[in-house]
C-alpha cells in the first residue's frame, strides 16, 4: 500500500511538472512575440520578419525540418498600408491619446493640417445623401463630422461602415471624423484610401464651431514581401498521411513606434500553442506525419493561408485532419469548435476526451465559418476544425491585448486535450 501511495504521489508530481512546463513555454513564446520589439508583428520595422525568424528557430529546436526540404519560409506578397510615424490628432487644441480616445482608420493616407468640423446629416445608407456630401464644394478644406450614435438610431453598423468607406474614396472635404461610443478596434488594410478617417471617443465638443488638427504619415506598400513559416515532422509509420496544425502569427502592427497592437491573445497565444505541440511531438513522435504552419497575412484577409492552400508544399489530399488554433490564451468558458457540426465524429470524440479528463469547462459546437485560416483548406476538401478559447478577456484588436494581462487560464488543459485528440488518428 505504501508503495502505491508513493507511486501515485510521484505520478501527480510528474503531471504537475508537465503542466508547469506547458504554460511556462507558452508564456515565454507570447512574451517574445507580443513584445514591443516585434512591432505588433505587422509589415513595418520588420515586425513580421522578426516573428517568422523566431518561429522558425523554435521549430528547428523541436526537431522540425522545412516542409520543402529547403527553407522554413514560404514567401508571398501582400499590400500593406502602414504608419511609420506617430499620428497626432487634436480637437480644439487638446491632444487626444491614440488608441484611447482617438484612432486612425487603417486605410488612411498621409495628411497634415487644421480643419473646421462640419456635421453631416441625413441617413448615410442613402446613396443620394452620400453623393450630395461628396459633391458639396462648400466642404472643401474642411473635415466632415459623423455622429455614430445618432446614425445608428436609423441605420445599422454595417451600413454605416459601408458609408464611411465610400466617403473615404472621394469628396471635396479633407478628412472624416467619426464620434463613436463603440469600443475601439483596429484592423489591417491592404489598400490606402483617398481620404483619412479619424475615430474619436469620449471627447467634449463645443456647441458651436470645432476644429481638428491632424498629422498622419502613412506609407502604402503594394507588394510587401512577407512569409509563412512551415515545419515538417516525420511520423513513425510508413504512411504519407498528414496531420496539419496551423495558427496565424501576424497582427496589426503599430502607429509610430509607441502605439503598438501587441496581439498577445490574437494570436501570439495560438502560435505558442502550435509551437508547444511541435515541441511535444518532437519528443513524442506521432504515428502520422505532422506539418506545422504559421501564417502571415491572416489579419489582411487570410492571405497567408490562401496562398499556402493554392501553392501547397504537401499533398492536401493526404491530410487526415487540420486543427487551426486562434486566441488560445483564456478558456474560462471553454473552447468553441468551428466546423464541429460538420465533422460530428471528430467533434464527439473531442467532447468525449474532454469529459473523461475534465480538461476544459466546455467544448462548444459551431457550424462553418470562413473567417480564419482553416477556411481555404476546408474549401479544398480538407477536414478541419478552427478552435478558439472563450471568456477571460475582452481585449481584441486594441492596444490592451498584451502579454502582461493574458491569463492563460486553461492553457494546460487545452494543450492536453489537443494531444489526446491528435493521438487518436
Specify the CATH number for the domain of residue 242.
Answer: 3.40.630.10
Place of cell 517574445: 32
Contact in structure between 397 and 269 (CB atoms under 8 Å) = no
Q: What are phi and psi of 82, to 5 degrees?
A: -130, 165
Identify which has the larger pLDDT, 10 or 181: 181
Question: What's the pLDDT tens digit per position in 77-98?
Answer: 999 999 999 999 999 999 999 9
- State yes or no: pLDDT of 8 exceeds 70: no
Cα–Cα dist 239/287, whole Å? 8
Q: What is the pLDDT of residue 19?
A: 55
Retrieve residue 319's grid coordinates.
Answer: 491530410
Looking from the CA of 383 toward its CB, the CA atoms found within 13 Å total 16
Question: What's the pLDDT tens digit per position in 196-209?
Answer: 999 999 999 999 99
Contact in structure between 312 and 319 (CB atoms under 8 Å) = no
Structural domain ending residue among the three candidates 164, 193, 216: 216
What is the span of the domain harbouring residue 128? 86-216
Q: What are phi and psi of 310, to 5 degrees?
A: -80, -25
Contact in structure between 375 and 324 (CB atoms under 8 Å) = no
In a domain, 246, yes or no: yes
Retrieve residue 27's grid coordinates.
Answer: 508564456
- State yes or no: pLDDT of 3 exceeds 70: no
Instruction: Give me the numbers of helices (H) and strands (E) for the chain, helices first please.
Output: 10, 19
Retrieve residue 393's grid coordinates.
Answer: 478577456
Residues 185, 309 share a domain:
no
Q: How many domains does the chain have?
A: 2
Cα–Cα dist 8/14, whole Å? 10
* Least confident span in 204-208, 370-374, 395-399: 204-208
Residues 140, 247 share a domain:
no
Residues 143, 247 share a domain:
no
Retrieve residue 397's grid coordinates.
Answer: 484588436
Structural domain ending residue among the three candidates 194, 216, 238: 216
Q: What is the pLDDT of residue 191?
A: 98
Q: What is the pLDDT of residue 18?
A: 56
Q: Which is nearest to 87 in space by CA: 245, 254, 302?
A: 254
Residues 91, 71 share a domain:
no
Using DSSP bridges, classify how beta strands 335-338 and 363-366 pair: parallel, antiparallel or unpaired: parallel
Contact in structure between 118 and 143 (CB atoms under 8 Å) = yes
- Specify the DSSP class assigned to residue 41: G
Retrieve residue 227's grid coordinates.
Answer: 512569409
Residues 33, 74 share a domain:
yes
Q: What is the pLDDT of residue 10?
A: 36
Contact in structure between 85 and 229 (CB atoms under 8 Å) = no
Cα–Cα dist 93/312, whole Å? 54
Q: Which is nearest to 56 in space by CA: 68, 45, 71, 75?
A: 71
Cα–Cα dist 423/401, whole Å? 32
Statement: the pTM of the whole predicted model exceeds 0.85: yes
Residues 135, 49 share a domain:
no
In a domain, 403, yes or no: yes
Contacts of 14 (CB under 8 A, 6+ apart): none
Amino acid at each position: 500500500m505504501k508503495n502505491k501511495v508513493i507511486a501515485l504521489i510521484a505520478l501527480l508530481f510528474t503531471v504537475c511538472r508537465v503542466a508547469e512546463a506547458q504554460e511556462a513555454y507558452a508564456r515565454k513564446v507570447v512574451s517574445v512575440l507580443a513584445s514591443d520589439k516585434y512591432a505588433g508583428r505587422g509589415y513595418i520595422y520588420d515586425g513580421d520578419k522578426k516573428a517568422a525568424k523566431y518561429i522558425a528557430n523554435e521549430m528547428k529546436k523541436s526537431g522540425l525540418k522545412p516542409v520543402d526540404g529547403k527553407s522554413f519560409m514560404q514567401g508571398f506578397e501582400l499590400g500593406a498600408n502602414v504608419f511609420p510615424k506617430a499620428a497626432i490628432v487634436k480637437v480644439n487644441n487638446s491632444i487626444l491619446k491614440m488608441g484611447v480616445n482617438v484612432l486612425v482608420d487603417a486605410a488612411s493616407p498621409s495628411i497634415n493640417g487644421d480643419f473646421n468640423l462640419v456635421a453631416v446629416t441625413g441617413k448615410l445608407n442613402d446613396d443620394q445623401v452620400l453623393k450630395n456630401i461628396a459633391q458639396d464644394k462648400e466642404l472643401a478644406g474642411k473635415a466632415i463630422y459623423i455622429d455614430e450614435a445618432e446614425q445608428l438610431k436609423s441605420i445599422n453598423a454595417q451600413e454605416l461602415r459601408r458609408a464611411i468607406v465610400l466617403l473615404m474614396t472621394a469628396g471635396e472635404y479633407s478628412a472624416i471624423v467619426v464620434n463613436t461610443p463603440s469600443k475601439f478596434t483596429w484592423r489591417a488594410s491592404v489598400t490606402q484610401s483617398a481620404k483619412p478617417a479619424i475615430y474619436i471617443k469620449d471627447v467634449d465638443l463645443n456647441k458651436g464651431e470645432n476644429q481638428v488638427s491632424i498629422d498622419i504619415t502613412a506609407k502604402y506598400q503594394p507588394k510587401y514581401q512577407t512569409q509563412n513559416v512551415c515545419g515538417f515532422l516525420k511520423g513513425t509509420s510508413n504512411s504519407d498521411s498528414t496531420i496539419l496544425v496551423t495558427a496565424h502569427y501576424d497582427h496589426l502592427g503599430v502607429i509610430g513606434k509607441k502605439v503598438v497592437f501587441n496581439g498577445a491573445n490574437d494570436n501570439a497565444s495560438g502560435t505558442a500553442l502550435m509551437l508547444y505541440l511541435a515541441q511535444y511531438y518532437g519528443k513524442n513522435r506521432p504515428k502520422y506525419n505532422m506539418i506545422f504552419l504559421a501564417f502571415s497575412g491572416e489579419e489582411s484577409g487570410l492571405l497567408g493561408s490562401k496562398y499556402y492552400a493554392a501553392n501547397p508544399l504537401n499533398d492536401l489530399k493526404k491530410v487526415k485532419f487540420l486543427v487551426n488554433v486562434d486566441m488560445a490564451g483564456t478558456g474560462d468558458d471553454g473552447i468553441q469548435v468551428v466546423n464541429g457540426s460538420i465533422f460530428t465524429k471528430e467533434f464527439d470524440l473531442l467532447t468525449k476526451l474532454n469529459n473523461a479528463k475534465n480538461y476544459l469547462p466546455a467544448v462548444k459546437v459551431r457550424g462553418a465559418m470562413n473567417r480564419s485560416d482553416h477556411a481555404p483548406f476546408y474549401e479544398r476538401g480538407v477536414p478541419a476544425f478552427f478552435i478558439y478559447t472563450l471568456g477571460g478577456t475582452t481585449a481584441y484588436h486594441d492596444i490592451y491585448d498584451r502579454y502582461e494581462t493574458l491569463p492563460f487560464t486553461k492553457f494546460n488543459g487545452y494543450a492536453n486535450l489537443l494531444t489526446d485528440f491528435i493521438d487518436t488518428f
